[in-house]
Amino acid sequence: MSETPREQESILPDKVLEVEPIEVSRGTIIKIREQIKELVEAPLLSACEELYDKNIQTSGTSANKKDIESHMPGYIVIVFDSLSDKNKEIAKQFGKAEKFEFSDDPCQVKIEIPLNENSSAEEIKTYAEAVAHKFFKQRMTWAPHFTIEELREAYAGDPNDESITIEELEDTYYYDPQSKLFYLSEEHFRKVNEKIED
């Protein structure tokens, strides 16, 4: 019997050396959970899904054959500035919070994952999951949201341009009539409004 696409996705290659890199722009904001598998290589996928479920923002990951060929560790980069106080303490166990490239970048922590040419994808998956398990679920603080004035300014250069309507913007954004805010997705809206004790 042939496997479904979802079952095929869950099959790991034997070695990280067999994992092709996913060359996608670092820092892409995940709008929906389903998008994670398009951005994250198989050995780190389940860990990054768990971090997303815990409302922890990742801004970069890598565990592929290029890392091994370059003698570099794999990694998961977590946005330190978006963490709860409890999760900041956990993140500090993995490395120093710092700005990596630009002065206006948020502080981030790079969690390095040891790799070598014999690393199996399964052992890297297990290692990354153990890292993700250490963090607590927190409030989602990093989902962008916008007023209609901000979007009118962005699209037309005029915050009062009434030719840009709520209905028109709903083709691209999720609108919450109660707060009068637009989100990148309904999933973001739900996660932001989830009641969680930090």
Average pLDDT over residues 145-155: 97
What is the identity of the amino acid at 118? N
Other residues' Cβ atoms within 10 Å of the Cβ of residue 52:
21
Average pLDDT over residues 110-130: 96
The predicted structure's pLDDT at residue 27: 72
Going by C-alpha positions, the residue among 71, 70, 88 that lies closest to residue 79 is 88
| Strands of the 174-176 sheet, one edge to the other | 145-146, 181-183, 174-176
Looking at per-residue confidence, does 121 or 5 come out higher?
Answer: 121
CB 42 within 8 A of CB 18: no
pLDDT above 90 coverage of the chain, percent: 82
CA distance 61 to 117: 18
Going by C-alpha positions, the residue among 121, 115, 66, 75 that lies closest to residue 95 is 75
Instruction: Say if residue 172's pLDDT is above 80.
Output: yes
- Report the range of poorest mean pLDDT among 10-19, 97-106, 154-163: 97-106
Summarize pLDDT for 65-113 with one digit per residue, the tens: 999 999 999 999 999 999 999 999 999 999 988 887 666 678 999 999 9
How is the chain split into domains, by residue range?
A: 5-134, 145-192
* Run of H or E including 36: helix 36-39
Helices (H), 57-147: 65-69, 85-92, 121-134
pLDDT bin (cut points 50, 70, 90) of residue 24 is confident
- In degrees and rounded to multiples of 5, residue 174 shows phi and psi of -95, 130
Global pTM value: 0.89
